[in-house]
Amino acid sequence: GKLNVPKTRSSATKKIDKKFPLLLTTSVVEHTYRGFPLSTWVEGARKLFAEGMVDINSEDAREAKISPGDEMVVTSAHFEKIWPARISNQQPRRTLYITLPRGEFLGPNPHPVRIRKKDV
């Protein structure tokens, strides 16, 4: 017989469009020791797990005229946040990634967003 696979709401349902052309994926700091983020204990961890910095592909950054460390306004249908940019060639085009500080949660991933450089 035919296998009926239930249709799950995949990330494809959160499609990007002209209004929100990028996808932001978030995670929360999980690297903890005695309840503190590892970055408070381990110097190197702070560089590895940079909290509150958005990883952005270098070409996407260039299109948005964003340089490393620039304040970037990230807007979705549900939130608007300002984070510094960290330009990364490992970051796939049209996607952003951020590790949120503990206790901050933006809802299920991914988030269709748009970005702009914060007005100086």
Could you report the per-residue pLDDT of 33-58, keeping only the tens digit for each? Answer: 566 655 555 555 555 556 789 999 99
pLDDT digits (tens, 9 = 90+) for 62-74: 999 999 999 999 9
Instruction: Write the DSSP assignment of 14-82 as a string of letters.
Output: S---SSS-EEEEEEE---EETTEEHHHH-HHHHHHT-BT-EEE-HHHHHHTT--TT-EEEEE-SS-EEE
13 pLDDT above the threshold of 50: no
Average pLDDT of every residue of the chain: 81
Most confident of 19-23, 29-33, 34-38, 99-103: 19-23
